[in-house]
Amino acid sequence: MRSDTDHGSVVAVRGSVVDVRFNTSLPAIHSILRAGADGAIVVEVLTHLDARGVRCIALTPTQGLARGMPVQDTGAPLMAPVGKGILSRMFDVFGNPIDRLPVPTGLAWRSVHRAPPSLLERSTTSTMFETGIKLIDVLVPLERGGKAGLFGGAGVGKTVLLTEMIHNMIGHQQGVSIFCGIGERCREGQELYHDMKEAGVLPNMVMLFGQMNEPPGSRFRIGHAALTMAEYFRDDERRDVLLLIDNIFRFIQAGSEVSGLMGQMPSRMGYQPTMGTELAALEERIANTASGAITSIQAVYVPADDFTDPAAIHTFSHLSAAIVLSRKRASEGLFPAIDPLQSNSKIATPGIVGQRHYALAQEIRRTLAQYAELKDIIAMLGLDQLSPQDRDLVGRARRLERFLTQPFFATEQFTGIKGKQVSLADALDGCERILRDEFKDTPESALYMIGKIAEVKDKAAKQVKVKPTDAKNTSAANDKPVPMPEAEGDHANAHAS
């Protein structure tokens, strides 16, 4: 805190923009100023106007602020709390707990404005970040210390997928998860908090929210606060961190609002001229170093589904993987509802994942793509009109789709099916055996919602005990795939029959 003589007075208030005049030395850029009763109104210095004036952006609502009111310079930038005491807690942009629990003790405070790791500190090797989720590990491998974009609308399993990754990260890799809600709805934050608590993943997790009803300055800085916490666990605790951001587009949107309020000339399509710099300042702090890694999964909203939008283009340039969730696959009961043909990863190369993994992933994509082309023919003419080779291909593709489904720990209480985490080796082994037609005579439903491929025989045996299959159906199974029950959401077979 600077001395009592470092007082200024409000010159102008225009929404969230506040001009302040000082008679002594000016506060530094990014300094926090306080005004109003008990310093309840907080503003951050963004520009020096002249030798005595500064222009600030408000981080709190400015109701009650008037010209001539005194302003106190704190002499410090915005700070975020770090320490083991922040685990299992929920914070706002100022580091205040918002979960109605006592204020944690024994914390240190660090500036949210920190430089990214230097090139010398960064790890130069690209390694895979195993999630324990078959479809992601096989077809869309994530990079340790990388950034993945998660594209999906409401109701397709985005939150469930994030919750499962948090569970696997905490339970099996001794890591820490940080959830950063940028422009989140209050309802979504409250629901997510209780979902995480019920799933038992809260003890090694931190949640931060810059809510939708808060000023743009608050939403613009919440991401930096989350990264400051993540850097503490990476550098001081030497633990791997999983950073989940929802939604990175709202960070850009908040920056656009701040830029407009500050009077900057808008750039292409109304975005701020400094968008690339602001996004890079956030994204480049997400890195892999010798002490640990911050791996980020970011929900990305694409305005009007226009992938040429400047916000989408700048975001894509930072991502190492794109996970696309499909509503159609969700409606068919294929969870996680990831579209394997739309999703991609930059590290899915022989030099990083290995030749066997790469070749298998390419063969799986090729099989699923050919099946997608045949779906229209099957819907119009039926499965029997295909050539024997195409029928075999359809059988392989449908068994692959079902094997790549997986019961989650996060949904045990709703489905009654015990969650499964599958290693990359087991997932690759299962896919390879399916492509070799080892399970050509096995009912498709026996591969649905299992973990390792070794579970197929047990599930098939249970299905036979529950519902015996007559000899006629058994012989038919040798010629073409057995349709999965309608209860499991298979609409393609309804057309085929």
Instruction: Report how far residue 354's alpha carbon sits from residue 340's, in angstroms, rounded to the nearest whole number.
Output: 19
Active-site position among 158, 285, 399, 402: 158
Residues 6+ apart with CB under 8 A from 241: 175, 176, 177, 178, 230, 233, 234, 292, 293, 294, 295
158 is catalytic: yes
Cis peptide before 336 (omega within 30 of 0): yes
Q: Kindly list the distances between the CA atom of residue 380 and the CA atoms of 39, 40, 376, 387, in Å, as whole numbers in the listed order.
A: 70, 67, 6, 15
185 is catalytic: yes
Q: Are strands 142-143 and 128-129 parallel, antiparallel or unpaired?
A: antiparallel
**DSSP secondary structure of 158-223:** HHHHHHHHHHHHHHHH--EEEEEEEEE-HHHHHHHHHHHHHHT-GGGEEEEEEETTS-HHHHHHHH
- Residue whose pair of structure tokens reads 């994942």 in the numeric block: 353
The answer to whether 151 touches 140, Cβ cutoff 8 Å, is: no
Structure tokens at 274: 């400094």
Vertex 317: Cα angle to 314 and 319 (nearest 5): 115
Instruction: Report how far residue 337's alpha carbon sits from residue 489's, in angstroms, rounded to the nearest whole number.
Output: 12
Instruction: Report how far residue 37's alpha carbon sits from residue 168's, in angstroms, rounded to the nearest whole number.
Output: 46
Active-site position among 14, 67, 84, 185: 185
The answer to whether 371 touches 398, Cβ cutoff 8 Å, is: yes
Q: Kindly list the distances between the CA atom of residue 348 and the CA atoms of 165, 298, 325, 343, 401, in Å, as whole numbers in the listed order.
A: 20, 19, 19, 11, 20
Active-site position among 130, 184, 283, 401: 184
327 is catalytic: no
The answer to whether 218 touches 210, Cβ cutoff 8 Å, is: yes
CA 152, 212, 112, 270 torsion: positive or negative?
Answer: positive
Q: Which residues are catalytic?
A: 158, 184-185
